[in-house]
Every structure is written in C-alpha cells, then in structure tokens.
Amino acid sequence: MIPTIIYLMMKRYKRQHPEKAEVLQSFINKCSKCFFLILICLGLATGTFSQAKTLVYTIKRNGSEVGSIQFTQNTIGNRITLSC
C-alpha cells in the first residue's frame, strides 16, 4: 500500500516539477544501488564466516548396533552451537 502511495505521489510531483523530479529520481536510483550492494556484501560475509560440521555416532550395546545419534556443530565467528 505504501509503495503505491509513494509511486502516485512521485507521478504527481513529476507533472508539477519535472526538473526537480528528475534530480530526485536519480538520487533514489543511486541510493537503491548502494543499498543493494550493501545487502550483497553482508550476505557474502555471513555465508563465508559460518561453518557447519555434522558428526554421526553409532550406539552399540554388547557388540550390536542399537541406534545412532547425529550432532551438528555450527561455528559463526567466536560462537559455537551444537544441536542434535
């Protein structure tokens, strides 16, 4: 709803002030490109620092296998989390 209202207001502003609207539109385009670049960089940084390691153990009783258990170790920076 809000983007539609902004679009309609920009359309009306372009009719009344075409020169100023062009400057405003170029500023919005530059900001959106910078924002998109920052999002890509943050996504790459998050993906490169996180590591996952899966550990699978078999449980034996009296020489026969009775089950298995799986641990997942996630390392993100200095933080290590284990989950079953």
Question: CA 49 to CA 64: how far, in whole Å?
Answer: 40
In the predicted structure, residue 66 carries a pLDDT above the cut 80 = yes
Burial (CB < 10 A; 0-12, 13-18, 19+), residue 21, is middle
Strand pairing report for 64-76 and 50-61: antiparallel
Q: Structure pTM?
A: 0.43
pLDDT digits (tens, 9 = 90+) for 20-50: 888 888 888 888 899 999 988 887 776 555 6
The answer to whether 82 and 68 are in contact (CB under 8 A) is: no
pLDDT at 60: 92
